[in-house]
Amino acid sequence: MRSRLLLVRRAGHLKLQRNFTQSTVARIDFRGRPRLPFLAVPTTHAGLVRYLTTDRAAKLKYEIKTGIKYTGYVWIAGLSLLAAYFAIAQEGLERRYPTPHEWSFRTRMNFRGGNCARYEPPQGKVTDWLQVAWWFEQAINRLHDPNIDGKDVKDAGHEYPPGTKDVTAKSEEWRRGYFMTLMGYAKAVEYMEGWVLDKSRNICFPPGTMIGPSNPFPKPLPPGFKGAPREEDCVPRFDSPDDIYVRILSTPGFTNRQRIEAGLAYASWLEYKGITGPASIVFEDAVRLAATERPDLPAEPLDNKTYVLNDAAGPPSENLITTLTAYATFRARQGDVSSALPILVSLLKARRSLPATPPISLTASLDTSKPKNDSPFSKLTNFFAPPPYPSPPPDGTSPPGRDNALSTCQEAALSMHIGEIMFATSPDSREEGLAWTRDAVDVAEEQLHKLPQAAYAALDNPARVACRECLAAGLANWKAMVGKLAREEEERRKKQQQVGDGRGGWLSGLWSRAGGGVQAEAVNRWAAEQKVIEERQRRARDLLEDMRPPGRGILSFVQA
């Protein structure tokens, strides 16, 4: 009996444990505990599961905060790298295209951007002159604004062209940078002549694509442009190059050399447009301005009618040589070789009589008199210090030097022009003109070989540019001259052979064969010289072409 009672108690105890695990606590609570649902233990089969527990919520908050923190770190690091790259790029542009230090950063950046877009277009693309003009236009607007960089800049007055500014109150560095900005803007606007701005969409369009009464047959839009503009919505995008050049020539505060440079550029633009009369007047004005810079000369520097240099006046100035060379080549291009040839001959004679070394200017002597500190600390500080603005160039009133590659190649260019004119004027002077051309080619090629590697690597080095242009033009002229002589000799030989064959007789045949030997010798001579020219062109290809591999940019380390 007792054992049976123990078995019953044990079975009841097991049943109570099984019911407790099945949430039956309220049914076995003998003390009358109320049935409260939130006190019951949740079970999985009832679907009541707590996913967002206290531990899980704390972990989720930690992960969100950590993600935001590291995302911020990545953005900060990326922006810092971009800022560092921008600063390094601007520093490199500043060293290639210096700007006055008194300009604000945004104005200097606009000036550097315009020069970079002009001289360093992206690989495989041509210069985007619209972008170049925009950069320079932004810089000019800031230089004219009295609240930014145009303090003490005034309007020139009613007697000057509209828009002309008086910059005499500004420093020399400011005026020089302002002149370079205006010249860059004028050169870019030459390529953008006729472009219009659609005011309704604020988009620029090429000339000839506008729809309106003034353009009844519009051109098709280039790739990348959508929707032809209408005439009532369009205005000219940029000023006319004529207006810009006239303002530069009239700006108070510019030097004679700057006016001469602007005048030569303006005359070249007029010649390109076919306006030869005004172009000749602008060339002559530039020559007269350069001739009147030195009133202390013992005689007039040139003849006022023929524009030939006067030997009694002494060595001519650099400005006079530059302007007179441009005017003589202009006259030759217009077909007036009778007046261009004496001018070129007098220029070559004057260049060959120049002193071997140019006179040392006062600024150069002051710069060389300063002691230089070559300590490592000084080199480090100079590396991180902003580069100084270049010293002002010579004013051009002194005779140029004759001891560098630039002056030698300029002499070779004069020889090439003289040879071309002599070859074209009369048949008797063709051999002499050909000899002048050969000498010019030899001198230009020799100077290119003599240039140091550092100077030759610079794309905008004046000596390299002048020698390459002279060599390329000289080889082209030489080849054209020899080819013409070879064709004329061949035609003359064929005509004489036909005349000899038509007469008949053994005497005529004898004389035709005797004369044919001389003509064949002349033809063979020109054919042999043509092969020499081809060999010279092949040899000069490395000097005329830029064989350096193009830069790959900052992403070159991830490219194959």
Domain boundary among 402, 427, 459: 402
Q: Name the phi and psi angles at 155, rounded to 5.
A: -75, 140
Is residue 443 one of the residues assigned to a domain?
yes
pLDDT 10s digits, 308-324:
999 888 899 999 999 99
Q: Name the phi and psi angles at 315, rounded to 5.
A: -65, 135
Is residue 497 one of the residues assigned to a domain?
yes
Domain boundary among 402, 436, 470: 402
Does residue 523 sit in the same domain as residue 464? Answer: yes
Does residue 351 sit in the same domain as residue 415? Answer: no
Q: Supply the pLDDT for residue 333.
A: 92
Percent of the chain with pLDDT over 90: 55
Does residue 319 sit in the same domain as residue 422? Answer: no
Is residue 455 one of the residues assigned to a domain?
yes
Q: Supply the pLDDT for residue 19.
A: 45
Does residue 515 sit in the same domain as residue 437? Answer: yes
Does residue 538 sit in the same domain as residue 460? Answer: yes
CA distance 185 to 167: 18
Residues of the chain below pLDDT 50? 8, 14-26, 29-30, 358-371, 455-457, 504-508, 510-514
Does residue 509 sit in the same domain as residue 409? Answer: yes
Domain boundary among 363, 379, 402: 402
Does residue 432 sit in the same domain as residue 338? Answer: no
Does residue 533 sit in the same domain as residue 453? Answer: yes
Count of domains forming the chain: 2
Does residue 463 sit in the same domain as residue 534? Answer: yes
Domain residues for the domain of 279 are: 263-355+396-402
Please enumerate in sequence order all residues whose Cβ is within 8 A of that of 276, keeping only pairs 6 or more positions apart, or say none: 270, 334
Does residue 454 sit in the same domain as residue 338? Answer: no
Does residue 414 sit in the same domain as residue 499? Answer: yes
3-state SS of 106-153 is: HHHHHHHHHHHHHHCCCCCCCCCHHHHHHHHHHHHHHHHCCCCCCCCC
- Which CATH number covers residue 495? 1.20.58
The answer to whether the predicted template modeling score (pTM) of the entire model surpasses 0.85 is no
Does residue 423 sit in the same domain as residue 523? Answer: yes
Is residue 77 one of the residues assigned to a domain?
no
